[in-house]
Amino acid sequence: MPYTITDQCNGCDACMRICPAAAIADEPKQAHTIDANACIECGACGRVCPQNAVLDAAGVVCRRTKKSEWLKPDIHLKSCLACAICVDACPVGCLGLAALPQKNGVNAYPYLKDAKACIGCGFCSRECPVDAIAMGGAVKMQTVAATSRGPA
């Protein structure tokens, strides 16, 4: 079940601007609507809504959260298979592959290449076949990316 917008919406467009699926339609200064067929249930709309006018898939009101408090992926390299499923799962393209010294035939690992673009949806974590990604606060992979030779 997709997210929905209540009549508390004042038409500010915050949700529409952040939606990676372009699932939110609007009329200026009127309550917006979410296209149920396009909604990917990432929750970004609810985290930015200043009116708390977004209901999640369970019908619970989403609360606005500062972007600095949104969860980010913490990638555990020792568990990672470097399959890149997490990179493909990210709806905003904020993950990349960093070239690292070859280990067991693996020469690239995922990293958070654009922390500001991350919407904290957790799709990368949910799709990881070996549970090598946990959603948390601090991002350890940023230092790995800085020491790599760049994206593969």
Confidence check: pLDDT of 141 > 50: no
63-85 average pLDDT score: 92
Give just the sign of the alpha carbon dihedral 21, 122, 73, 89.
Answer: negative
Structural domain for 79, as ranges: 68-147
pLDDT tens string 86-109: 999 999 999 999 876 555 566 688
Task: Identify the domain boundary among 20, 37, 65.
Answer: 65
- 61 with 74, same domain? no
> Domain holding 110: CATH number?
3.30.70.3270
- 46 with 88, same domain? no
110-137 average pLDDT score: 95
- 34 with 49, same domain? yes
In order of 25, 32, 45, 63, 132, the CA distances from 10 in angstroms are 13, 8, 14, 15, 40
Measured CA to CA, the distance from residue 35 to residue 125 in angstroms comes to 25
- 51 with 108, same domain? no
The verdict on residue 152 lying in a domain is no
| Count, residues in the chain | 152
The verdict on residue 15 lying in a domain is yes
- 90 with 130, same domain? yes
- 76 with 56, same domain? no
Q: Number of structural domains, the chain?
A: 2
